[in-house]
A and B are shown apart, each in its own frame.
Chain A
């Protein structure tokens, strides 16, 4: 999926490690699974704290309701499944039982996006960001790598309200440092630049960094922003970058029509007028294939970002 420059680390394992640490620190942490505990790694928590892990079976609606009931009784709840089952399948339960009453439930999903691979379109969730960011009271986080996953999980625990945390299946490039600060709602500038801004989320941040290297070869200094909180969106950082660089490209492993890129476009549209392009999956379902092949076929590549950046640069000149 990425060039050899990156160390590849599993976010799922980082999640499990953090859950176990939290389980030891806090007695109020309760974890729910829906027959995917070994895949989402909540099984690791279950091994350590069997009395505080409940497997609800293939009944995600019930899982979300139980999560709400536990939270109403003061528990800090993690409910985990695949992105496809933790959002669309349970949208009403998340809306009514969790988001509306502002329950302290953290919906941590794995296997988001097209890189799920062989399972195909039925399991490749590419519109979850849209569903979750539309919900009042919901916070939407896409940790960029294993370090950020750990920090996001910890931040969610001390956050008043529900969160949606989106992780992938595959190992992902480690693009941050262990000591980098993380705050919900704060975007991080990964690479400085003055000519164009590349805003990435999730695995596309690494692609943006690689794209910035490519662009530098052509004398273009691209700024790279890791937009790991989709909601609340860090509009301040975005507007500043748009003003200073004069053009913006977004990149996400998600439907391009309703994801981070559209959130960014809306925010910029109301604040600063600069040329923009969005890289992501077009308005289409995915299919089976290797992660790398799918990324290539659906345009989630360094090339796409570089091309989009050149297009923005051309339009900037007009």
Chain B
């Protein structure tokens, strides 16, 4: 599949806007998880602005594809995508983490239009994705369920229980993406609890496994295309990413797993993301 430069450029611009929103949200809330939101941004932008079938003006549309943010702490990235897609006004993003907000610290499917699953306790989203994919099979719906996993989350046993069952039920309508940013809260994944060889583990569990650069839109789109053509088994895309991608001092910095930027850092981040004095 050839992707036009125009499409790639559109997605890059969408992703840039999403990154700006993420920084704004976390700065305004004075808390949140920038690192893992920024590493997942390009993958989510590709899904929300090109790959998935969905209707922001009809969030419960039966034939929509599903997206489960298993790494729920990347909620800012999800909310920014949903707002940009039109599920709710961008203005709402200012209420992130505030009392009475529809935008909880971690995704709440009962409060936020477009959120498909309540997540936040690591390790549970893939099981929910298996349930959604099974339901689609039962209903003979040609929908795809996408589950975004953190790499730290792959420490959880439940992920592998779910991986085993997806394979057993031959869920070719289920696609998992591992945001392989190589850092978890306490430090590098390979120093805290090694998950390598990660691709071999997924293959051993019966999955069709791909490895891509999670910031290269051609590779991201190509992988989703590849997944859609794979029959009889689930696909996992191990997306190599950079934690904090797009903001120099957050890139590869464990410190920004769950910390908000201060005023100076916020200004620096906006500058790096190409935000002018007009705020765009």
Residues on A with C-beta less than 8 A from B254 are none
How many Å lie between the Cα of A56 and that of B162 in the bound state? 9
| Bitwise interface map of A from 77 to 103 toward B, beta carbon under 8 Å scored 1, else 0 | 000000000000000110111001110
Across the interface, B110 reaches (CB within 8 A) one of A69, A75, A102, namely: A102
A73, B127: Cβ atoms under 8 Å?
A: no
Residues on A with C-beta less than 8 A from B268 are none
Interface size for chain B: under 10, 10 to 19, 20 to 34, or 35 or more residues? 20 to 34
Q: Chain A: which residue is nearest B129 at the CB level?
A: A69
Q: Do A54 and B135 form a contact, CB below 8 Å, given A66-B127, A72-B116, A72-B117?
A: no
Across the interface, A65 reaches (CB within 8 A) one of B110, B127, B138, namely: B127
Q: Do A70 and B117 form a contact, CB below 8 Å, given A61-B158, A93-B158?
A: no
Question: For chain A residues 17-57, which have a beta carbon within 8 Å of chain B?
Answer: 30, 51-52, 54, 56-57
How many Å lie between the Cα of A5 and that of B169 in the bound state? 49
Per the CB 8 Å criterion, the residue count for chain A at the interface is 30
Main SS class of interface, A: helix
Rounded to whole Å, the gap between the CB of B52 and the closest CB of chain A is 16
Q: Chain B: which residue is nearest A58 at the CB level?
A: B161
How many Å lie between the Cα of A96 and that of B156 in the bound state? 15
A96, B131: Cβ atoms under 8 Å?
A: no
Residues on A with C-beta less than 8 A from B109 are 72, 101
Main SS class of interface, B: helix
Q: Chain A: which residue is nearest B136 at the CB level?
A: A73
B162, A62: Cβ atoms under 8 Å?
A: yes
Q: Is B228 an interface residue (CB 8 A)?
A: no
A69, B117: Cβ atoms under 8 Å?
A: yes
Question: For chain B residues 91-149, which have a beta carbon within 8 Å of chain A?
Answer: 108-110, 116-121, 124-136, 138-139
27 pairs, CB–CB < 8 Å, chain A vs chain B: A30-B135, A30-B138, A52-B138, A56-B161, A57-B164, A57-B165, A61-B124, A61-B127, A62-B161, A64-B127, A66-B130, A68-B117, A69-B128, A69-B130, A69-B133, A69-B134, A69-B135, A70-B131, A72-B132, A73-B136, A96-B120, A97-B127, A97-B128, A101-B108, A101-B110, A101-B117, A101-B118
The 6 closest A-B pairs by CB, nearest first: A69-B131, A65-B127, A73-B135, A62-B161, A69-B128, A59-B161
Q: A54-B134, A69-B134 are in contact. List 17 more A-B contacts (CB 8 A).
A: A30-B138, A52-B138, A57-B165, A65-B125, A65-B127, A66-B130, A67-B131, A69-B131, A70-B131, A70-B132, A70-B135, A71-B131, A72-B128, A73-B136, A74-B135, A93-B124, A101-B109
